[in-house]
């Protein structure tokens, strides 16, 4: 009705899949069995907005083993 030119045959359709933790927060932590491995899941588009600070946190963890940012909300052991 509003866009009659778009009233044609559907040619393709794709779902947009993305990661999401049960509590909808990021995951940033060391692997439980190896401090040499950092796990990070900024969760798709939402995380894109925070890519600068997530990158800074990951660099801190890789180079110093810690970060000045409070990442307790993003730890593996958090209550989810």
> How many degrees, rounded to 5, is the angle at CA 75 between CA 73 and CA 76?
130
On average, the pLDDT of the chain sits at 88
Confidence tier at 44 by pLDDT (50, 70, 90): low
* Mean pLDDT value across residues 67-78: 94
> How many degrees, rounded to 5, is the angle at CA 52 between CA 47 and CA 57?
90
* Mean pLDDT value across residues 16-44: 87
What percent of the chain shows pLDDT beyond 70?
A: 95
Going by C-alpha positions, the residue among 33, 35, 28 that lies closest to residue 64 is 35
pTM comes to 0.73
Looking at residue 47, its pLDDT comes to 78
What stretch of H or E contains 21? none
Instruction: Provide the strand spans (E) within 1-80.
Output: 27-31, 34-41
Looking at residue 56, its pLDDT comes to 97
């Amino acid at each position: 009705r509003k866009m009659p030119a778009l009233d044609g045959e559907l040619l393709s359709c794709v779902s947009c899949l993305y990661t999401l933790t049960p509590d909808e927060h990021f995951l940033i932590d060391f692997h439980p069995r190896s401090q040499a491995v950092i796990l990070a899941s900024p969760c798709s588009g939402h995380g894109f907005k925070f890519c600068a600070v997530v990158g800074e946190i990951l660099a801190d963890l890789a180079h110093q083993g810690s970060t000045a940012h409070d990442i307790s909300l993003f730890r593996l052991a958090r209550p989810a």
